[in-house]
Structure 1
Amino acid sequence: MPYRPKSTLEQWRILQAVVDAGGYAQAADMLNKSQSSLNHAVAKLQSQLGVELLEVIGRKAQLTPAGEVMLRRSRILTQQIEDLELLADNIDRGWEPEIRIAVELAYPKHFLYQALQQFYPISRGSRVQIIDTVLTGTTEIIQHKKADLVICGLIPKGYLAEPLCVTRFVPVVGSQHPLAQQQPLDANVLSQHLQIVIRDTAQKPQENIGWLRAEQRWTVDNFYEAIEILQLGLGFCWLPDFTVQQGLQQGSLVQLPLSQSSEKLVPMALLTPQEDALGPGSRQLRQLLLQAHNIKKD
């Protein structure tokens, strides 16, 4: 048999008002109801639950120990209902209940976090889902329209994107690696060593994209796993400079000076796979993200 609640939301709201106002008379004025109706509602609530919630001492209604516990839980319940009703109202107005942001792993996320900090007070309860992507995995997200906003390094054919910043990749080894003592290095010499690469998040990754030249390579899920392996003296890896700055300063990592090129620059851009279907929340967040990069758009 399905569960049938013994109490109503209105009863709990009345109890909260009586406690917050300090008594039945004050709560009646606040709610614009008769004092007798509030007395009846609270008495019925206690009877239905079989628990004494309030006791009147003098002219003031005070919570019992059980009442304190239940009132605290009731506030959570009524707040959740208010949030649910607000969400329904937002959906009716077109404000999306969830915003999905796909972010290329090479993007410096502090810009995104800055935008999210500004977005939170106006988010209207919308959930935000951040999806880490790599290389062709980002392209798949765009082509399959699985995110509202996408920060990418590779812009698929047929799409336009707003430039945000440039990520600088540098070749790095641990300080105990043999290559740390050699300079300058030829790219052909480098390709003979173990390379640590970041896993492409695509369902069908294309290995002709990225820097996968070495015959022997280990694949990891993120830059920080790669750094831990490098610090053991194993392999080399091309990494964004913002991920290795601390290791370079502390001396646990060494940047390799290559004779041909010691850095690779990857432009990062903001793309909307479905511009016409973009909701007001996503539009607001996009604007805040552009502002985080000091990009002004009407």
Structure 2
Amino acid sequence: MYRTKTTLEQWRILQAVVDSGGYAHAAKLLNKSQSSLNHAVAKLQDQLNVQLLEVKGRKAFLTPAGEVMLRRSRILSQSAQDLEELAKNINQGWEPEITIALDLAFPREYLLPVLKQFQHDCRGSRLKIIDTVLTGTEEAITEGWADIVLTANIPKGHLYEPLVEVDFIAVSHPEHPLATLESPIDPEELLQHIQIVIKDTGKSPVENRGWLKAEQRWTVSQFHAAIELLHEGIGFCWLPTHYVQPLLKKGSLAQLSIKGSSFRRIVVSMVNPHPDRMGPGTRMLTEMILAERQITQ
């Protein structure tokens, strides 16, 4: 294992000498003797076999090598400070990692302002955002592997906060046979065509749930993959309105009018699987999401 020749204290002294414009001011700032600072910097240069400072008159100036080393040393010092701060936060109960299970249908524009704000207050906590679909989102709650779950599928016995309504519409290529039929389309007619569906991320998916009853079924993992197939004239798909609206306006996709139901609506809610043992970071993020709900409504 490599053992460093230098210490953080030596680099801290070098930074203080440069930032203060000399040894005298740095000595007052650090509450140390000027001779001890001279000795520390001289030893640092000797250990590295690189001249970092040169004294002209009463002032110390960085050499070109010193400029590079100083810049890197600031990153080192900040990392050490961040590491100690993280340990302090963990000791206070602040989570080292927070996991969000995010239903693929949830409009990302509602969450992005929250994440932008949270980055300044996260205290070094890592944030893991996992896209989930149907049963997979439920498992994030029942198995408790997520701290915050945004879902339309809520298992019995769990409290939730409604956040946003999401409408799904059936779409296809404008020249697909379904798009040329006289509206509204009989639901039985849909069974004669390929339905593009999004893969359930659960361990035990319910394949005939909801709108996924078509026998001719092609499965993809993301909305954009479904849209790529639709653009090639393959099948039809139920997709969130907010996701396909620009493509409908552009004319590259067409909305299908179906007898009895031209759209399907879900309500995406927030669930905290461990409400009694939420850490401070999870609690803060939860409150931020609820505050954003108030703004968007």
- TM-score scaled by length of structure 2: 0.96
Deviation, structure 1 residue 208:
2.7
CA distance in 2, matches of 1:232, 1:30: 69
> Percent same amino acid at aligned positions?
59
Matched with 1:106 is 105
Q: Secondary structure at the match of 2:119?
A: helix
CA distance in 2, matches of 1:195, 1:61: 73
CA root-mean-square deviation: 1.3
Q: Does structure 2 conserve the Cα–Cα contact (< 8 Å) formed by 1:142 and 1:273?
A: yes
Deviation, structure 1 residue 209:
2.0
Q: Does structure 2 conserve the Cα–Cα contact (< 8 Å) formed by 1:135 and 1:210?
A: no
Deviations 1:148-177 (A, max 9, x none): 100011001121111111110000001231
Matched with 1:153 is 152
Matches within 5 A, 1:72-111: 72-111=71-110
Matched with 1:234 is 234
Matched with 1:6 is 5
Deviations 1:182-237 (A, max 9, x none): 23111110121011100111122111323212211111111111111111111100
CA distance in 2, matches of 1:288, 1:107: 16
CA distance in 2, matches of 1:203, 1:56: 68
Aligned residues: 295
Letter in 2 for 1:56: V
Deviations 1:266-290 (A, max 9, x none): 1110001111111011111101101
Structure-2 change in CA distance of 1:28 and 1:183 (3 Å):
farther
CA distance in 2, matches of 1:176, 1:28: 78
Structure 2, unaligned runs of 5 or more: none
Matched with 1:203 is 203
User: After the TM superposition, which parts of structure 1 deviate over 3 Å for at least 4 consecutive aligned residues?
Assistant: none
CA distance in 1, matches of 2:111, 2:122: 15
Is 1:143 the counterpart of 2:142? The answer is yes
Deviations 1:25-81 (A, max 9, x none): 111121121111111111001111111111112222111111111111111111111
Q: Does structure 2 conserve the Cα–Cα contact (< 8 Å) formed by 1:183 and 1:256?
A: no
Letter in 2 for 1:66: A
Structure 1, unaligned runs of 5 or more: none
Q: Secondary structure at the match of 1:167?
A: strand
